[in-house]
Structure 1
């Protein structure tokens, strides 16, 4: 008995199955491809591997702690920190606190920061806010904090408010401690000070 009829029958069945699969796939791509493409446009996220934050190591929620020359503490936190060179880091959303000589603390926050552990200074940039424990709030766009002597200064316009009144400085400011332990703020350029009368009465009393 010849085997050709069986072989031919298998061949015909194979061709039929192949055609059936082809028809199903063609039908699926015709009606399903637009839906697949729409999903791709909505949900696909492309990562650019050339971006620095992808190529370079970053620290999540870094915490820097140290003391100044008089053993007063300070600390700096951030959402991200990218180490540029040894002892130097770029910070995203930095915040922290420094304690001045008389025990008063300044809290600080900004959008960007540059921390130099060797030079002991912190540069802040973008919506810089300084808040003291005695109720004063200072707003500017750029400031440098020298951590060794706790000097805070900037060369851009400043607005501040506290229990004694309001301050405005067009060309910046400088906050420092004098030898007698008193905190002094100097306004640079055209400036204005609005004093609350209530604060003067309290001092006289």
Structure 2
């Protein structure tokens, strides 16, 4: 007799294949990755906000005043490029002290700064027209005392129209006053003057000369070529 084999696979219950639990695991992993990506996005947004806030703060600080560039230590000194110092005098008038470069000596008062080619934006005095804003070759700025010492080839003009040339000038930014203890030469609307010392008072409207004062006054007759 010939044996006949019947297909009884349909009588057995279906078996669970291996891909179904793997699919569930894959969905769980996908959800975890989605949550991680969302968290990462929030972190990145937060960091972006912090960076933007830091930039805005730096811009505001620079607009309000202070040093434009952080000091760079060179040897034993801290050197700054294009420093900027701001303040107000007793009457509330603002002033800005700038320079090509500045040096703060180690071991000394950090509020005292040596300046190269100092400039001053202030209503009291201004630089000579040919000096491009530079008042002197060197200077020393004391932030606490609010004084600016100008040294070597000092050139400036007052509100009254006089131009001065001296080797030293100390500008008292707190009370609108300038004092010089070296010989000075001045030229203005009324004539020329030379003296051993000087003091500019009343916000530049009054100048006092001391020591060997020599003047040459102008008048309309002398300017026209006639004898005075």
Q: With structure 2 as the length reference, what TM-score do the two structures score?
A: 0.57
Given the superposition, is the C-alpha separation of residues 64 and 198 from structure 1 closer, same or farther in structure 2, using an over 3 Å criterion?
farther
Match of 2:88 in 1: 67
Aligned CA distance change for structure 1 residues 75 and 198 (closer, same or farther; 3 Å) = farther
> Contact between 2:159 and 2:204, CA under 8 Å: does it hold in 1?
no
- Deviation track 1:135-185 (CA, whole Å, cap 9, x = no partner) reads 32100001111111111011110001112211110x2100000xxx77111
Q: CA deviation at 1:55?
A: 3.6
Q: 1:133 to 1:151 in 2, by over 3 A?
A: closer
> 2:177–2:204: 8 Å Cα contact kept in structure 1?
no
Cα distance 1:56–1:135, how it changes in 2: closer, same or farther (>3 A)?
Answer: same
- Map 1:18-37 to 2 at 5 A: none
Q: Is the 1:98–1:150 Cα contact (8 Å) retained in structure 2? A: no
Does residue 118 (structure 1) correspond to residue 144 (structure 2)? The answer is yes
In structure 1, the partner of 2:198 is 173
Indicate yes or no: 2:184 matched with 1:194.
no
CA distance in 1, matches of 2:94, 2:114: 21
Q: CA deviation digits over 1:67-86, x for unaligned, max 9?
A: 10101122111111112322
User: In the aligned structure 1, how far is the partner of 2:74 from the partner of 2:154?
Assistant: 24
Deviation at 1:106, TM superposition (A): 3.0
Query: What are the Cα deviations for residues 83-114 of structure 1, in whole angstroms up to 9, with x where unaligned?
Result: 232221011111113214xxxx5336101101
SS in structure 1 of the partner of residue 182 of structure 2: coil
Q: In angstroms, what is the RMSD of aligned CA positions? A: 2.4
Uncovered stretches (5+) of structure 2, i.e. residues with no partner: 1-72, 128-133, 222-228
Q: TM-score, normalised by structure 1?
A: 0.63
Unaligned runs of 5+ in 1: 1-51, 200-205
**Aligned 8 A contact 1:139 1:158 in 2:** yes
